[in-house]
Structure 1
Amino acid sequence: MAKQTSAPAVPGSFLPDLGSPRSLVGAWAQLSVVQYFAAEAAVIEAWAAPQPYDRRTGFISDLGAVNCAVYDGRDVCSPLHLLMNASFVVQGLGLLLGALLLGSAMLCIAARPGVRILQDTAYLKGRSGAIGARILTGAAGAGTVIVGLVPEDYGSPWHFAGALMYFIGGAFALLLLGFLWLPHTRMSWFLLACGTVCFAALIAGAVTRMELPEPGTLERLMAYPLTIGFSAAGLLIATRVRRVRRIAASAAAWDRRERM
């Protein structure tokens, strides 16, 4: 008797955008924000002020200042300011693309391996949270673009507003996404930790007005967890989308063999 074979699980009952190219592009766009660390290291290496740049005392925005001058009592001179500001803009655009291309339904089940829409009514309850996460991620991305386009030494309030949009929007976006994924992946705890550290540092900065011995350390406790958290979320989503696309390709190949 011929051996019976069964087709691979066909992802037709998955949510429509789960394996779509736009989801993969959105995930990789969000993952791309990690480029910030390479750009920051290069800009710091080129620092030309009388005193070496110190991450503990120097503000991140000092690296994007266009002019060499004394700014708020700090000697600032960043020859590679264009690279730093371009990195801010690229980071912001990555978050904006992620917010636009990763649908709310996609975010609801991105961390749930093997879930099918017919078996998963809970995703509807989490969809409002996913919409909120997308809006907040988009706001954070827009804020980072503003920071890159309006350096601190332009004297415009838009620079400060853009930074607040990034920190506040990013912290709440990671907290929402972490809670949304809490029952489904251990990555949720990492996102919650990143969002919590950023939010706590933001509160500390507001209370102290950043007037403390190491303001650069405090600002990086706001910024670094966001970059790391968004990158981690993008990597998880990209891995999930690629898995579904492989399942779809396997199912299509099996179907072609059956038709021959």
Structure 2
Amino acid sequence: MFPPRPFLVALQFLTVLPVRLKKPPDNKTMGRSLLYYPLVGLVIGALLAVLVLGLNETPTFVAAALALTLWVLLTGALHLDGLADSADAWIGGLGDRKRTLAIMKDPYCGPAAVVTLVLVLLIKFTALQHLITSENWQALLLAPVLGRTALVLLFLTTPYVRSNGLGSLLSGHLPRRVSLVVTLSTLAAVPIFIGIAGFWLLFTMAGIFFLLHTLMLRRIGGTTGDTAGALVEITETMMLLTAALMA
């Protein structure tokens, strides 16, 4: 049966695309939905590429702005919200685990969150503009894919620190061996798809993942939904920036 139910669950959670499920997914289906996160990233990247290709007669800065807007709308700003909460918590937590976790629960945005969001969106916009100018559609496709592949890798290697919530459910029911195969297969496909430049993307992704993974473990002993969202946003941004610099 295609599309598989776990894929539809992943698509429903990670995007605002109109996906309707006849009944709520069970725990096993929720865990297996993580396997399809890279595929959802490919859907997002493909929609962005189609939009940009359709705007080939439009000034590049306008096309980049519209592509970034679509990107945010497609994801419902899900990961941006996590990035904002994480930025506030890391600055306001003052190195304390309990204080950091408490600030992540606060629905309000502080100065650190606002500045971080502005900087990330600015870098994404300028990188997109350059990639559109150089017609680097591959990077536009791959950035959402690698961002969500990093998410699967995070749940594979990092304990979830909260005892309840969706993240705990995903982490507890993730089929680990299959997810490892999916992760490695996705990463191996990058240099096959774009050649030697793919190794630079993977090298950058590995560095970002190791850095953020280490910061999470040192500060809060694992990950939360907010830090997972921050990982996605930062990975996507660095993939775009790396591709733009290589171009």
Task: Tell me the TM-score normalized by structure 2.
Answer: 0.32
Task: Tell me the TM-score normalized by structure 1.
Answer: 0.31
Bigger fraction of residues in helix: 2
| Structure (1 or 2) with the larger CA radius of gyration | 1
